[in-house]
Structures are given as structure tokens and as C-alpha cells.
Amino acid sequence: MSKPLVDIMNLNLTRYGKNFDLEKFKKTFYEEVDEMFEGIKNNDINEAIDGANDAIVVLGGFITQHGYNPELTLKQVVKEIKSRNQSKKQYNRWKEDPKLQDVEKWEKDKTQDPTTLYKADFSTCKIRK
């Protein structure tokens, strides 16, 4: 079974090279995000999902063109996010009213002991040459 992010990395390395062009990146990324929002607006889930996934491919290219493996960088970010605790006040509100989870952005516990937080280490994610 293939790993989609590795496939995206290889696709970008073989089709687009290693040189990053900011203007080309912005144009392509915005086109894909616009496609996603257009699909949402038109209640066309297929168009929305296609645009969202195309945006992921473009972002994977951004990461790859900067010399990093997108799968490994994503794992680092998820590890960092998972180390965070939710705000105690929000946790209690959501416990009392679970519907709030659908409308509120998840809030970090700003009093969490910093030694319990993981910081993403992207130096472990460089593409081997």
C-alpha cells in the first residue's frame, strides 16, 4: 500500500523539481482553495473534497521543495498538537453541553506546564539525498 504523502513528495520531486517559486505556489494554492470553497458554496461535496486534496498536494510540494518529507513533518506536528491539554474551562463547558464542540474552536490550556509540551523537531524530517 502506498503512503499518500510520500507519493505527493515523489510526484513533486519528479514533476516540479526542487526550486521553489513563491508566486507560482500562491497562485496554485489559492486556485485549489477557491475550488474547495466553491464546492462548499454549491453544496458539491466532490468538488470541495477535490479542491481540498489538491491543496494538500500543493502544500506537500511546498514542504518537499524546501527539503523536507511531508509525511514526517506532519507526524511531528500531530505529536506537538497531541501534547497540548484543553482549557479546563472549555473542557467543563463541553462536558455540560457537548454541542458546543461543534461551534467552538478547541482552546489550549495556557497554564499547562511547559515541560509537558512537545515541540516539533523538523530537523528529523529532512529528505535524504
Tens digit of each residue's pLDDT (9 = 90 or more) over 69-89: 999 999 999 999 999 999 999
Which residues share a beta bridge with 126?
68
- pLDDT surpasses 50 at 52: yes
Q: What is the largest CA-CA distance in the chain?
A: 53
CB atoms within 10 A of CB 62: 16
CA distances for 3 relative to 25, 52, 75, angstroms: 23, 18, 13
Tens digit of each residue's pLDDT (9 = 90 or more) over 110-127: 999 999 999 999 999 999
Which residues share a beta bridge with 86?
108
Torsion 31-43-56-73 (CA) sign: positive
Instruction: At 25, list the grid cell.
Output: 505556489
Query: How far is 72 from 79, CA to CA, in rounded Å?
Result: 11
Range with the largest mean pLDDT of 4-13, 31-40, 67-76: 31-40
